[in-house]
């Protein structure tokens, strides 16, 4: 019996994930009869599930990105800088390879939205996605980054990454934003509600909003924003394109055959 090549997305919760739609559209466009499934996996069960998997690779989402990073024998530069991985590839004989495609996906999405040249940027949040966003902004050439968080002290590891890559950054409380910026990148999970006064304060000096959230949309920030807003489906799309490259060839930099057509198919799958 022919063995089906399988790829999976792991996380908890996982029912909301749109990765299967994106990946299956790509594999169909490439003429590959691959399967892509969701699997609910917690940090407590991750090691066991990893030891049992027969998948070619994994897309990894919350709350497993730290565990995925730790499980790898090799990590790309973006994973090394951020300390997290959202992609595991098992097709290399030297061992498990970890990538962070969130960084590249966000950088491409910001460029696509016309805000990739922003010099001053505010990041809203202090989690793993915030660190990935910081590295993406550094790659795009941002000069100054402000990290706005409920608890600014939790941004200390992100500030350490900023220092390591030579990017000027500071952390402030969500209710203590006053310096105008060109762009705000919100990295809060979808569905998080913010006090209307906080939203007004962030919007008054926030420039263009790029919110990595996409469901529900508009997000609490987008509903109260004064200027242009962009949702996170572009980031979701482009990080998935990089994942498909990895699962097909093991190399995030190797373009897919007729890649523009594959990307169109993936974009159509998002609706």
Same domain, 210 and 191: yes
Same domain, 202 and 114: yes
Full residue range of the structural domain in which residue 165 is found: 104-231
Same domain, 144 and 198: yes
Same domain, 172 and 245: no
Is there a domain that residue 1 lies in? no
- What local confidence, expressed as pLDDT, does residue 34 receive? 98
CA nearest neighbour of 70 among 82, 58, 85, 81: 85
Same domain, 23 and 54: yes
Alpha-carbon 191 to chain mean position: 17
- pTM of the shown model: 0.96
Q: Which residues are catalytic?
A: 65
Same domain, 81 and 56: yes
Q: How far apart are CA 71 and CA 203, in angstroms?
A: 40
Same domain, 109 and 222: yes
Same domain, 126 and 208: yes
- What local confidence, expressed as pLDDT, does residue 189 receive? 87
Same domain, 77 and 129: no
Tens-binned pLDDT, residue by residue, of the chain (271 aa): 568 999 999 999 999 999 999 999 999 999 999 999 999 999 999 999 999 999 999 999 999 999 999 999 999 999 999 999 999 999 999 999 999 999 999 999 999 999 999 999 999 999 999 999 999 999 999 999 999 999 999 999 999 999 999 999 999 999 999 999 999 999 998 888 999 999 999 999 999 999 999 999 999 999 999 999 999 999 999 999 999 999 999 999 999 999 999 999 999 999 8
Q: Please answer whether residues 270 and 20 qualify as being in contact, where contact means their C-beta atoms are separated by less than 8 angstroms.
A: no
Q: Please answer whether residues 135 and 80 qualify as being in contact, where contact means their C-beta atoms are separated by less than 8 angstroms.
A: no
């Amino acid at each position: 019996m022919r063995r089906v090549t399988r790829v999976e997305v792991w996380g908890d919760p996982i029912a909301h994930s749109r990765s299967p739609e994106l990946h299956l559209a790509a594999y169909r466009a490439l003429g590959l009869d691959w399967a892509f499934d969701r699997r609910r996996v917690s940090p407590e069960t991750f090691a066991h599930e990893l030891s049992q998997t027969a998948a070619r690779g994994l897309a990894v989402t919350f709350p497993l990105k730290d565990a995925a990073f730790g499980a790898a024998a090799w990590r790309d530069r973006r994973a090394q800088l951020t300390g997290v991985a959202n992609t595991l590839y098992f097709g290399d004989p030297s061992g498990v390879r970890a990538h962070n495609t969130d960084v590249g996906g966000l950088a491409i999405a910001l460029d696509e939205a016309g805000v990739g040249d922003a010099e001053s940027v505010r990041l809203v949040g202090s989690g793993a996605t915030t660190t990935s966003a910081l590295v993406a902004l550094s790659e795009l050439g941002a000069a100054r980054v402000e990290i706005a968080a409920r608890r600014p002290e939790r941004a200390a590891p992100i500030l350490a990454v900023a220092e390591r890559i030579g990017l000027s950054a500071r952390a402030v409380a969500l209710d203590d934003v006053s310096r105008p910026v060109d762009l705000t990148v919100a990295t809060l999970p979808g569905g998080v509600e913010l006090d209307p006064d906080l939203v007004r304060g962030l919007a008054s000096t926030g420039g263009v909003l790029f919110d990595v959230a996409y469901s529900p949309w508009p997000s609490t920030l987008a509903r109260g924003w004064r200027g242009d807003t962009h949702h996170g489906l572009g980031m979701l799309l482009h990080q998935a394109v990089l994942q498909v490259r990895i699962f097909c060839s093991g190399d995030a930099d190797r373009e897919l055959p007729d890649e523009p057509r594959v990307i169109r198919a993936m974009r159509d799958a998002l609706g």
